[in-house]
Amino acid sequence: MTGHAYEPVRIGIVSISDRASSGVYEDKGLPALQAWLQRALRNPIDFEPRLIPDEQAAISAALIALVDAGCALVLTTGGTGPALRDVTPEATLAVAHKEMPGFGEQMRQISLRFVPTAILSRQVAVIRDKSLIINLPGQPKSIAETLEGLKNPDGTPVVPGIFAAVPYCIDLIGGPYLETDDSVCKAFRPKSAIRASAP
C-alpha cells in the first residue's frame, strides 16, 4: 500500500430531545448523523453517541465530556429553535473557548432556500480545546442539506455545505486529518495544507 493510511477519528454525536430521550418516540438524529458521516468521511470513525433531554447543564456537561474523551468533532442535533425548552446554543456557548459564527450563518443560508422560518434557527459552532462543536438542525433531511450543501441535478454545487470547511478547521486546531468522499462533500483546503491521498 502506497501513500498513507487514513487517520482514525473520534466523533461525538449528540441528539437533544426531551421526548426521544424519555422514549416517547424513536430518536432519528443519531442514526442520521452517523449515516451521513460514514458516507462523507474515508477515515475510520469511533462514534461517541449521546441522547439527552433539553437541559442546559446536561448538554454542557455532555459536550465537555466528549471533548475530554478526545472527540475532534462533536455534532449536535435538536434544541436550536426559539421554544422555551430550546437551549442547545446556550449550552454550547457556555463551554466555548472560541466562537465560529460562519457555520451558523451558512446553515441559515442553506435552510432559507427551503423555508422562511430558517431565520428562527439559532445554531452555533464553537471551539473548545482541540475540538470543533457544531449545532445542526433537528430533522434528518435538514442535517444532510446543511452538511452537504445543495447541488444541481448534474452534481455541481449551488450552495456549499458547512462540512466542506470542517476538515481544514480541525487541521488548524491540531486535530486529525479528515479525508472526505468528494462525491458526497469535497473538503476545501489551501494547496499548502493538502496531503497526498491514500489509495
Locate the domains of the chain by residue range: 9-193
Measure CA 52 to chain center.
17
Which of the four pLDDT bands, split at 50, 70 and 90, describes residue 57?
Answer: very high
Amino acid occupying residue 147: L
CA 104 to chain CA centroid, nearest Å: 11
Cα distance between residue 74 and residue 12, in whole Å: 4
Can you give the pLDDT at residue 4? Answer: 62
**Pairwise CA distance, residues 111 & 117, whole Å:** 8
Task: Name the average pLDDT for the chain.
Answer: 93
Residue 101: C-alpha distances to residues 13, 43, 135, 194 (Å): 20, 26, 11, 25
Q: What is the pLDDT of residue 157?
A: 79
Label residue 197 by pLDDT band (50, 70, 90): low
At residue 24, the pLDDT reads 84
The stretch 156-171 carries a mean pLDDT of 93
Tell whether domain 9-193 is in CATH 3.40.50.180: no
177 Ramachandran zone, left/alpha/beta (phi>0; psi -120 to 50) = beta
Please state the pTM of the whole predicted model.
Answer: 0.94
With cut-offs at 50, 70 and 90, classify the pLDDT of residue 1: very low
pLDDT of 198 > 70? The answer is no
